Amino acid sequence: MQGKFHSGLGLLAMCLVGYFAAVPAVKAAETKTPRERAIERANERTMANPAAALEEGVTEPSLQPKGIELNDFMFFPSVELDQIYTDNLFAEENNANSDWITIVRPAFKLQSRLPQHAVNLVGSLEAYRHWEYTRDDHENYSLAADGRYDLSVNSELNAQIGTRRYYEDRGSDDDVRGETPTEATAHTLLLGGKTRLNRFLFGGTAQAARLSFGDVNTSSGVPINNSDRDRWEYTGQVTGGYELVPGYSAQTAFSANSRIYDDEFDDFGLQRDSKGWRAEAGLGLDLGQVLRGDLLVGYMKQYYEDDSFADISGPSIRATLNWSPTRMTLIVPSLERSILETTILGASGIVRTAASLSMRHELQRNLIGYGYVSYYNDDFENISGKSNTFETRWRLMYALTDNFYTGLQASYRDKESDFPDGSFKEATVGVRFGVQM
């Protein structure tokens, strides 16, 4: 089964390359200012991940890191130090334990500045050190590279490859409540491209992701097996658009996925392999730097291998707006309904409905505020179980110079779950110091 899907993924990738390669390569025109290019990159990241990308918001050019020139590349190193206090380290419903956490975060970006095409490399390391519960000390890392090949002014090919290690959130319903947090690794490869033909815009991507989870022990030393969660996830997507009038376009998207677990049966004797699809249509907006976004609605379905699992189907939605009412303010509302994986006993999957609002505002040229508010409902299919989570995060950053900055941050989470010990509340406060070049 895996071999067949590997072949299918390769065929899709070759079709994408073959289609876009038919367009002759020409030198792309470069007419945008550095700030306009920076805003465009920030907008693209925000559309993909509103919560994280806003923190990379564009400040005044005089306060942006200058970087180190390396021929056709610019190198941007940075180091951040966070000191965080949490009142519920283990996301417990009762008898919460507090702790201080010191986080050191070195990172770098290597960005090309070629007249045509682009190659970028991004990496980071996060070292968590707990003052009291040192068994939760760990290190996260990520490394990703992406490239763009300009076939013409209107056509391009894209590729991304990345790897990261992280530790599962203690507040996750899939967390097995081990003595230490669950280590997870993810490796991803994405190939794609897009082209514009008069008023039409076509695109496609093929992605493969490898997910692995480490074993942990209970507080009494009994091992907990997580290898039955290891899997491959494959996704292929084609998109199309037609410009109705300048700034407004009709959009359509179709994607198919396959999720293949290493173990044919998990520890409870269930087969968790599945296949699914998602079809949507809607409206796209592109009114320059003021308003950009997509509103897509449609239908989704996931088919499960195990006969005891009911297939999941229902309406889908993806809506994100990127609104800049002023040059100093960015507001991003987002709404999405999707089908996610879970290994909760008896549950085939999760239907998540998530709404969020992200904000960034430059109070002064060197004082920037960030805000994020989200609410999501998780409906566990095939069993009677739900969870609702409210989360908010705020940060105020002050740039001392273009190389040094500091800030204050706070967050709050409130989760209500039908599962035992699944509900909790957590508040954090902290301070950040950073150096960038």
C-alpha to C-alpha distances, 67 to 62, 154, 267, 318, 393, nearest whole angstrom: 12, 30, 50, 36, 29
Is a pLDDT exceeding 90 seen at residue 175? no
User: How would residue 13 be classed by pLDDT, with cut points 50, 70 and 90?
Assistant: very low
**Averaged pLDDT for residues 74-101:** 96
Q: What is the mean pLDDT of the chain?
A: 87
**Averaged pLDDT for residues 323-344:** 93
Rounded Cα gap, residues 373 and 413, in angstroms = 10
**Averaged pLDDT for residues 202-229:** 94
**Averaged pLDDT for residues 346-366:** 93
Rounded Cα gap, residues 280 and 107, in angstroms = 37
User: How would residue 23 be classed by pLDDT, with cut points 50, 70 and 90?
Assistant: very low
Of the listed ranges 96-105, 237-246, 380-389, the least confidently predicted one is 380-389
**Averaged pLDDT for residues 342-350:** 90
What pLDDT sits at residue 343? 86
Is a pLDDT exceeding 50 seen at residue 87? yes
More confident residue, 222 or 421: 222
More confident residue, 87 or 218: 87
User: How would residue 178 be classed by pLDDT, with cut points 50, 70 and 90?
Assistant: confident
Structure tokens at 128: 């968590």
* Span 380-431, pLDDT tens digits: 998 988 999 999 999 999 999 889 999 999 999 999 999 888 899 999 999 9
Beta bridge partners of 191: 159, 206
Rounded Cα gap, residues 139 and 129, in angstroms = 9
What pLDDT sits at residue 65? 83
Is a pLDDT exceeding 60 seen at residue 250? yes
User: How would residue 122 be classed by pLDDT, with cut points 50, 70 and 90?
Assistant: very high
Beta bridge partners of 348: none
Structure tokens at 206: 């093929």
**Averaged pLDDT for residues 76-97:** 95
User: How would residue 127 be classed by pLDDT, with cut points 50, 70 and 90?
Assistant: very high
* Span 41-70, pLDDT tens digits: 444 544 555 555 455 444 455 567 889 999
- What predicted TM-score, i.e. pTM, was given to this entire model? 0.85
Rounded Cα gap, residues 3 and 14, in angstroms = 17
Domains and CATH numbers, the chain: 2-436 (2.40.160)
CA 117 to centroid of chain Cα atoms:
24
Is a pLDDT exceeding 70 seen at residue 27? no
User: How would residue 71 be classed by pLDDT, with cut points 50, 70 and 90?
Assistant: very high
* Span 254-309, pLDDT tens digits: 999 999 999 999 988 999 999 999 999 999 999 888 899 999 999 999 999 999 99
In single-letter form, the type of residue at position 11 comes to L
Is a pLDDT exceeding 70 seen at residue 1? no
